[in-house]
């Protein structure tokens, strides 16, 4: 039934059939995360990094009502230039398909399509989470519920620092989602490696992590994992600088009445503006770092069969 709506790139399909390493990639970073042409350049570099580390990249999106797992260079260029791409999460999928529209997949939607295709490893920038002030707004990302149910490991630089990281971790704990620090005991905060919050477990190699993932799913313990991979030290931002920018961005968002799925792209763009573009450079480098780890993990998982 799903196959009637799903197009898997031939290279990706061949790799999956052969049991080779494949890494899923989201597309909101292309259409909503960065300006053109940096978005396209970054997407292509991420795919190259994954190939260089022994895996096949599968950038995921919806184009003209078709779910695409693995995009061509021309399709990535199209997404990067288009102004009519809809940010697409779980609730949006049937309507974007029915209307024949273009959709850029969030973490949640990317996990869904990756799982449909049989991909177990997904590299992104940062996951969504519980927004600051959620005790009154109830603004909680659908990414967290997807992590509770969908069998995909998400490699990220932690939760985006515009969020309430403590409450995000509490939410994940409630739904049994492991938060694993890669070579760290602390949950990174996207632009910085420190948040003041501990992870559930630390792993120091991709092989160790792949073994734990296989056991989790062999046991029928459904749901994903958050693999928290800190931004490399040389690309970290100063904590005081980034926190000041975030606080100002939050104030401006409230004043302008920005809510719902528009909140994250608005805040990231505002933080970029307030930091003179430094946050964008950090964002790009942490995505590259996650792509490297994603490829290494996919390779180790493929070895286990």
Q: What's the mean pLDDT in 119-123?
A: 98
Residue 112 lies in a domain: yes
Cis geometry, peptide bond prior to residue 10 (ω within 30 degrees of 0): no
Which pTM does this prediction carry? 0.93
Residue 43 lies in a domain: yes
Q: Is the pLDDT of residue 15 over 90?
A: yes
Q: Which residues are catalytic?
A: 26, 160
Nearest to 153 by CA among 179, 125, 120, 130: 120
Question: CB neighbours of 79 closer than 8 A, spacing ≥ 6?
Answer: 27, 30, 31, 61, 63, 71, 85, 102, 104
Nearest to 197 by CA among 208, 185, 205: 185
Backbone angle region of 277, left / alpha / beta, with phi > 0 → left and psi within -120 to 50 → alpha: left
Q: What's the mean pLDDT in 188-203?
A: 95
Structure confidence by residue, pLDDT tens digits, 206-217: 999 999 999 999
Residue 200 has a pLDDT of: 98
Q: How far apart are the first and last CA of the chain?
A: 26
Residue 165 has a pLDDT of: 95
Residue 142 lies in a domain: yes
Q: How many domains does the chain have?
A: 1
Residue 275 lies in a domain: no
Q: Which domain holds residue 179?
A: 2-239+286-304
Residue 255 lies in a domain: no
Rounded distance between C-alpha atoms, residue 42 and residue 47, angstroms: 9
Q: What is the CATH number of the domain that holds 23?
A: 3.40.1790.10
Structure confidence by residue, pLDDT tens digits, 32-83: 888 899 999 999 999 999 999 999 999 999 999 999 999 999 999 999 999 9
Q: What's the mean pLDDT in 214-243?
A: 95
Residue 102 lies in a domain: yes
Q: Which spans in the chain are helix H?
A: 10-17, 28-31, 38-52, 73-81, 93-99, 107-117, 134-137, 142-149, 165-174, 206-218, 239-256, 263-274, 278-304
Structure confidence by residue, pLDDT tens digits, 264-301: 778 878 888 888 878 889 999 999 999 999 999 999 99
Structure confidence by residue, pLDDT tens digits, 220-229: 999 999 999 9
Residue 96 lies in a domain: yes
Strand partners, 143: none
Residue 281 lies in a domain: no
């Amino acid at each position: 039934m799903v196959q009637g709506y799903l197009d898997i790139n031939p290279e990706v399909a061949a790799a999956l059939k052969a049991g080779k390493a494949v890494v899923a990639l989201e597309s909101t970073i292309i259409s909503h995360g960065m300006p053109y042409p940096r978005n396209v350049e970054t997407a292509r570099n991420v795919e190259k990094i994954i190939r260089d580390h022994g895996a096949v990249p599968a950038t995921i999106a919806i184009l003209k009502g078709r779910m695409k797992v693995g995009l061509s260079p021309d399709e990535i260029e199209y997404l990067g230039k288009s102004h009519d791409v809809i940010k697409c999460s779980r609730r949006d999928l049937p309507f974007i398909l029915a209307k024949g529209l273009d959709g850029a997949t969030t973490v949640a939607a990317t996990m869904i399509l990756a799982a449909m295709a049989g991909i177990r490893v997904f590299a992104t920038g940062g996951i969504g989470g519980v927004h600051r002030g959620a005790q009154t707004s109830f603004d909680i990302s659908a990414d967290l519920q997807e992590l509770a149910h969908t069998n995909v490991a998400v490699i990220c630089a932690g939760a985006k620092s515009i969020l309430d990281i403590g409450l995000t971790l509490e939410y994940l704990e409630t739904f049994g989602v492991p938060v694993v620090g890669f070579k760290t005991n602390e949950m990174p905060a996207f632009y910085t490696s420190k948040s003041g919050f501990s992870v559930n477990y630390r792993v120091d190699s991709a092989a160790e992590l792949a073994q734990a993932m296989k056991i989790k799913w062999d046991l029928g313990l459904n749901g994903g994992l958050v693999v928290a991979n800190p931004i490399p030290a040389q690309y970290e931002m100063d904590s005081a600088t980034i926190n000041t920018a975030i606080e100002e961005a939050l104030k401006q968002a409230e004043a302008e009445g920005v809510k719902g799925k528009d909140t994250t792209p608005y805040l990231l763009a505002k933080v970029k503006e307030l930091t003179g573009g430094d946050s964008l450079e950090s964002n790009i480098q942490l995505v590259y770092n996650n792509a490297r780890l994603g490829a290494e993990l996919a390779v180790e998982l493929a070895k286990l069969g």
